[in-house]
Every structure is written in C-alpha cells, then in structure tokens.
Amino acid sequence: MKSPFRPDEVPDASLLDDHRSLIRSLERRGLIRGGLSLGALVMLTGCDVKRPESVESALLAISRLNDSVQALLFDPNKLAPTYPASMILRPPKFNAYYDVMDVKPVNGATWRLGLSGLVADKRPWTLQDLQALPQISIVIKHICVEGWSYIGGWTGTPLRTFLERVGADLRAKYVAFKTADDYPSSIDMASALHPQTLLATKYGGETLADPFGYPVRLRMATKLGYKNPKWITAIEVTNSYPGGYWESRGFPWFAGI
C-alpha cells in the first residue's frame, strides 16, 4: 500500500539499464544484497555513479581499519555514565530509515524470537519467556550518528544472560539481528557481552511503545543509535560477517562510542 505521505517523484526505472555494470560491481563488493531491483535503484540514486570506485574503495578500506582501531579502544569493563531517572525523555526521539507512519506494529502475542547459528538451544522464545529472565534497568545517553543525543531509560535482560541461557558460543565473532522492519544489524561479541547491553522490553518503566521497537529492541550504551535494532525477530551467532542496513550504504560497522 502506497503511503499517502510518499512524495510523488520516484526514480525513473530506466536508470537501472544505464548503470547495470555499476550495480553488478557493487553487488560483487557485497554492498547491495539482492539483485537488480528497485531497492538497488534507490540506493543507486543515492550513489554518485561517476565517483571513481578507487576513491570509494580507499575510504571504505580506511573505515574498516578504523573498525579495528575502535575494537582495540573498546574497554569491555568500562561502563557508560548513567543518569537520574528524572532526566529520561518521555517520549523518546523516534528515528528510522522511514518516517513514523510506516512503522509496522508487531503482535506481541504471536511474536517469536528465532535463533540460529552457533547456538545450542534454537527453540524460539515468546515474549513471556523473555520477560521471565532477570531484568535490569539503565538510564543512559543515546547518541545518534547524526549528532543529537537524549537521555533514555530502558529495562530488559542483559544480552549476555540471554546468550548464556541459549548456549551460544561466546567465542564467536558476531551477533546478528533480524527485525520486522527489514533492518538487519550486527555487532561484535565483545559489545554484545558488555554489562549495559540489553534486550530491552520497556522504556521509562513502561512497555516499549510500537514506534520504539515493541516487543523487544537492542539497547547498548557503547554504540551509536543505528546499531540498536528495533522490533527484533531473530538473533544469530556467527563467525561470518553479517553486515547491516546502514553498513551496506557506507556507514561504519563498529560504530562504537
């Protein structure tokens, strides 16, 4: 269903023909998942097709180098500053790669959290199962890559507790997430095990509202906002690089703060 808020101008599909070879090379570099499609076209109109690939590759290579530097700088024992509950912004700031009217609410009763990869017990979880795990609350600063920040309060079970409960291989490199809004995301295991990394089900003491990721979202204190997926539907523990929505569009992957 076309959103009534969608602007009338959409990209001309004949652009796909002009840039077929570039699309193929971008696919080979793994920058676009999925084949020749309007999805690829949307990203393509975002790319400057005349920018030399060598410049882009060089910048991305340095970005990957920076990821390694960030991993070295990451102190798994360092806690992010916390704040008094009175400073929690209610409601929090909404952001996504689309505006709020395109949010697709999830039915909490029929929702299941799927598991895959290096996990011993792959049985799906219900929301009640998740809420029965030990819960902690944190009041921390959310920082967006755009530059804005706000103080928010989340309650949930530490991701570490959950991973231990399902017998995940904690020596694996990556924890990857799938979501109800087609926003794949992944993080390094060290950040996943950080004490302030939660599978959050509440904000400000109340159940997460639909626009903010109901029934469960990832909440980390040590990474930028875009690394915290909402409306999680599946978790995978893996050693192959899973990437993510914004990473496919040029953003850094580690994104640690």
Partner 1 sequence: MHWVNAIVMLIMITSGWGIYDDDVIIRGFHFSQFWRLGDWAAWSLNWHFAGMWFLTINGLIYLIYGFVSGRLREKLLPIRPAEVVQTVVDTLHFKIAHEDITVYNAVQKLLYIVVIFAGVAQVVTGLAIWKPIQFSGLVSLLGGFQTARVLHFAGMAVIVGFLIVHVALALLVPKTLWAMVAGGPCLKPRGRAEGNPAT
Partner 2 sequence: MVRRNMSGVRSMRMRSICGALVIVASAAHAQSTTPGGMPPPPGMSLAESAAMRFPQPVRVGDLPGRDVLRPVESQDVLGHVRQLVRDSKGQIMVVIDFGGFFGFGSRPIAVPVDAMVLVGQDMEVVAFTPEQLRRFPTFSPSGTTPIADDAIIKVGLAKPSH
Window 1-60: residues binding partner 1 (CB under 8 A):
46-48, 51, 58-60
Q: Which one of residues 15, 36, 63, 243 is an interface residue with partner 1 (CB under 8 A)?
A: 63
Q: Measure the CA–CA gap between 144 and 48, rounded to whole angstroms.
A: 25
Is 66 or 126 the residue whose CB approaches partner 1 more closely?
Answer: 66
| CB half-sphere exposure, 100, CA atoms < 13 A | 9
The nearest distance, CB 47 to partner 2, in angstroms, is 8
Region 137-156 residues binding partner 1, contact defined as CB under 8 A:
141, 143-149
Q: What are phi and psi of 185, to 5 degrees?
A: -155, 155
Q: Which does 80 bind (CB under 5 to 8 A by kind): partner 1, partner 2, none?
A: partner 1
**Residue where the block lists tokens 């076309």:** 2
Does 164 bind partner 2 (CB under 8 A)? Our answer is no
Q: Does 150 bind partner 2 (CB under 8 A)?
A: yes
State which of positions 174-213 bind partner 1 (CB under 8 A).
none
Convert 187-256 into a string of H (helix), E (strand) and C (coil): EEHHHHCCCCCEEEEEECCEECCHHHCCCCEEECCCECHHHCCCCEEEEEEECCCCCCCCHHHCCCCCCE
Q: Any contact of residue 253 with partner 1 (CB under 8 A)?
A: no
- Contact call for residue 118 and partner 2 (CB under 8 A): no
250 interacts with, out of partner 1, partner 2, none, CB within 5 to 8 A per kind:
partner 1
CA terminus-to-terminus distance, the chain: 38
Buried b (16+ CB within 10 A) or exposed e, 219-239: bbbbbbbbbbbbbbbbbbbbe
Residue 25's Cβ-side half-sphere holds a number of Cα atoms within 13 Å equal to: 9
**Interface with partner 2 (CB under 8 A):** 3-7, 9-12, 15, 42-43, 45-46, 48-52, 55, 89-103, 144-146, 148, 150, 209-211, 226, 246, 249, 251
**Interface with partner 1 (CB under 8 A):** 46-48, 51, 58-60, 62-63, 66, 70, 73-75, 78, 80-81, 141, 143-149, 221-222, 246, 249-252, 256-257
